Structure 1
């Protein structure tokens, strides 16, 4: 019985750890979160990572500016989704290639892992990446 309790505690501590912090060259360090897929498979998620200068003011309607990447001090919280790009809401019949079933299920999985449901936010500043890395354990 004692062995089972110790095993459960060890498993809890292992599962509760945070994913590795990642340093992006010429930008800074990010920290992510773990999400669980298929009950046992974990994925490290780093969301809302900027990959270009915000397309606002003089950068509006221009190609993304990646020569001078956004930088930050300290560790950036990469567990919060960035705003979506501003766009018109399409009706289902307007879509030529609707999301495949596995894409819809993956989006539901991500939303179920969030502590609070995500409200849709829109912004011109929307050049961000969401990166998902399989856990190496």
Structure 2
């Protein structure tokens, strides 16, 4: 279960993680966007031992890659724009394989149907979420 959170919700969890024990279950992932991550990353690091975090709408322009790489995300959601812009770039498969090496799941949110399973496997994409409209979460 992936639960998208906004800044206020994340700050509440940081302030009192014990009140959110139901979100500490193994099947629950808390999803945050880059702006929330960047603002709260140090406090989030302190609770990664009890919560599992996903990064929504990965890598907006100007994103600090070193911050993303240093944080123990368990998953990343790529939006359709990012996927389409980078799909055929030489470095893209290497980026996704680095996530796979770290056991980071990758899901693409797209209005398009999923590519063949062989393409998804070759790119190290864990899942594909077909959406009615392309919009950002979080």
Q: Scaled by the length of structure 1, what TM-score is found?
A: 0.23
Query: Which protein has the bigger helix share?
Result: 2
TM-score in terms of structure 2 length: 0.23
Structure number with bigger Rg: 1
Q: Which has the higher strand share?
A: 1
